[in-house]
Amino acid sequence: RMKDSATGLDKFVLREARGSSVEVHLYGGQVTFWKNNFGHQLLFVSNKATFKPPKAIRGGIQICFPQLGNHGALEQHGFARNRFWSVDESPPPFPVATSSCHIDLILKSSQEDLKIWPYSYEFRLRVALSPRGDLILTSRIRNISSDGKPFQFTFAYHTYFSVSDISEVRVEGLETLDYLDNLKSKNRCTEQGDAVVFESEVDKVYLSAPPKIVIIDHEKKRTFVLRKEGLPDVVVWNPWDKKAKAMPDFGDDEYKNMLCVGAAAIEKPITLRPGEEWLGKQEISAVPSSYSSGQ
Ligand code: BG6
């Protein structure tokens, strides 16, 4: 546990014996740094990011809950990314044991939040590093209300990947899928072509995507692999030049060096009855492209 030098707020750094590490802020329960055994920061964080309220941290992995984007009446991407999480000292055991290098955080409904979203929940987030430095985020959300009321939510791990040049990036695994296009009032369209490439603003939700998505960064000869469980959809976002200029916490040219791709549950909101728990997992790895064949 340490204090962020700029804000004085709490953050944690986990280091795995073979060299990987991850930094997590209690603000937003947000991961802002990840390097694997190959040794570089693999996530994008804007040079203009602020690491304190009221804005969410621009970059890393934002937890969007209980609402993604403006698919509902709450603030954009829900409130979880703007709340202070706590360390979960004694999380209930996982059905299957996970990596030993991890930290557990928890977010619960506060009196304030009950006014805007009147449901009692416990959101447990485990941030873990595998022995080879893969980053695994597991969310367990439970309805703990005593009044018998179910609740519904949408969710995403809004993940800002660091890329060398967006124009050279290809995403595999989304081709031929249906998607909702936020730039066309959420119109449902179908992706054409081999792999998804980028030449202008993109703001899409791919529906019922396969469990594995691959992001190929040609220039750095790096391949990210994203694996997901319990999260059928995938968000893909890049603001491109015009929107970048309009965002106060994002550099004008930074859109060239980032791509958001994240596991999500949007089209069919998750419903939890009292006592029920949902689990959603996203695992990301990054390897030099020459290593990636056969993975
Ligand atoms: C995307 C949304 O998921 O996130 C976009 O679909 C939005 O519309 C982007 O601009 C970033 O959101 P925010 O709230 O972090 O600026």
For residue 192, give its domain range.
2-291
Number of domains within the chain = 1
pLDDT value at 120 more than 50: yes
For the ranges 86-90, 190-194, 247-251, the lowest mean pLDDT is seen at: 190-194
Residue nearest to atom 9 of ligand 1 (CA): 237
Compute the distance from residue 149 Cα to the ligand 1 centre, in Å. Answer: 30
Compute the distance from residue 207 Cα to the ligand 1 centre, in Å. Answer: 17
pTM of the model: 0.96
Compute the distance from residue 30 Cα to the ligand 1 centre, in Å. Answer: 16
d(CA 217, CA 198) in angstroms, rounded, equals 12
- For the segment 125-141, the average pLDDT, to the nearest whole number, is 96
User: What are the C-alpha distances in Å from 40 to residues 214, 220, 222, 260, 275?
Assistant: 19, 11, 11, 18, 41
Could you read off the pLDDT of 144-191 as tens digits, one per residue? 999 889 999 999 999 999 999 999 999 999 999 999 999 998 789 999
For position 219, what pLDDT does the model report?
74
Residue nearest to atom 10 of ligand 1 (CA): 239
Q: Residues with Cβ within 6 A of ligand 1?
A: 56, 69, 76-77, 182, 203, 235, 237
Residue nearest to atom 7 of ligand 1 (CA): 69
Q: Could you tell me the CATH number of the domain that includes residue 261?
A: 2.70.98.10
